[in-house]
Amino acid sequence: MLKLYNTLSRQKEVFTPIQPGKVNMYVCGMTVYDLCHVGHARMLAAFDTIYRWLRASGYEVNYVRNITDIEDKIIKRALERGITPMQLVDENVAAMDDDLAHLNLLPPTLQPRATQHVEGMVQMIEQLIANGRAYPADNGDVYYAVRSFEGYGKLSGKTLANLRAGERVEVDPHKRDPFDFVLWKAAKPGEPHWASPWGPGRPGWHIECSVMSKHHFGVHFDIHGGGEDLQFPHHENEIAQSEGCHNHTYVNYWLHNGFLQLNGEKMSKSLGNFFTIRDVLRQFDGEVVRFLLVRAHYRSPINYSEELLRDAKQGLERLYTALRQTPPADGVTLDWQNSYAARFREAMDDDFGTSEAVAVLFDLAGEVNRSRDPQLAAQLKALANVLGLLERDPQAFLQGEAGADGLDAAAIEAQIAARQAARKAKDFAESDRIRDALLAAGIVLEDGPQGTTWRRQ
């Protein structure tokens, strides 16, 4: 029985989809004005894991993750580079897809772009005006009248009284109330724009997700996710828009992931404290990065450091080493009656408890090392695969690519052969010298009954 933490109710709830056996999940994706950083990867990997577990639980999942492809930063960056906004978007979407493939993220069912749905946004804004929830201003903008929606603040817990006391509010003389937010922005010279009843312009950010989710799921769906920074104002505004337009519950379960932090602060481009995914992949294998992100519970913060990545690498090596020493039996399917699998399922059914599930993987790896049972090795691989881990050949992962020293597999095997010859000749000093020289280069030799294997440190 899957339970998940619903930000709206602030408690764990038994998950009951609107339509038995099917799940509609919408996740706020990237504003693609630049390369993705590992803070973005934290969110994307969290919902990839949730997506995988829902599928492993037998649900047919329709996973929509949008792309914001029109926004101030996109326009500014494209202008700086002398290209069109859509050229910038296409370039960064391709880079994002490539980066996420290295982290073994499954593609979502659909990845709609905001500019594909401008007509629907205009229609929703018209309906909000008709419902008395929005108003056009004399400057060509259209605003949502926040005080017209009685439920405003129910997701974030922020009341208008609290906001007035403790929040800075943008001053705009065209608003009727400082808390109102923009639905449609009048066009500025040189910017992309679309026709509307209020003049040429483009949609505000918040209206995009209300319309794209409605287009794919209708006015009511199961799960909406995103980073915890989106609770307010973005997701709060989505609720106001969608429920204010349709007079119907918008989403049943709201899920939000914790931040990736650097020196105690949220990793973000605005703070300048970030590493792109590509930066990190130059030093660490993509599966190591994924393991770092997945082994923490999705709602917990992660304090990013190279030390943590090195620790994740060592942990992943332990799991792969168990599979190298005991190759999994062929044709074995995941057995949920197995005691380790049952513990894994219990952990994941408790709000996607990956930290406990990963602990089960290590316990099972230890049992595989003790028993050398290919059936248990197959269970280890199958359970890890549910989290997008251990899908590669163990030897290939452990040996990796040539390091900075330039030692490739052939050169290392030649050194191992020379060491074996020295040992056979009882020249143990030479044998030890070769072993120590390889270790100094980051190559660990492991002697066993079937001979000597190696891995990169």
CA-based torsion, 68, 69, 72, 77: positive or negative: positive
Residue 245 · residue 127 · CB < 8 Å: yes
- Helices 205-217 and 236-246 pack at an angle, to 10 degrees, of 60
Residue 36 in marked binding region: no
Residue 265 in marked binding region: no
454 three-state secondary structure? strand
How far apart CA 241 and CA 220 sit, in angstroms, is: 13
Residue 209 in marked binding region: yes
Peptide bond preceding 112: is omega within 30 degrees of 0, i.e. cis? no
12 DSSP assignment: E
Contacts of 337 (CB under 8 A, 6+ apart): none
Task: Using alpha carbons, select from 414, 405, 421 the residue that is nearest to residue 456.
Answer: 405
Residue 248 in marked binding region: no
Across-strand partners of 221?
A: 251
Q: Say how many C-beta atoms besides its own lie within 10 A of residue 199's C-beta.
A: 15
Residue 238 in marked binding region: yes
Angle at alpha carbon of residue 58, lines to 54 and 62, rounded to 5°: 55
Q: Which residues are annotated as a binding site?
A: 28, 209, 234, 238, 269
Q: Which residues are annotated as a binding site for Zn(2+)?
A: 28, 209, 234, 238
Q: Which residues are annotated as a binding site for ATP?
A: 269
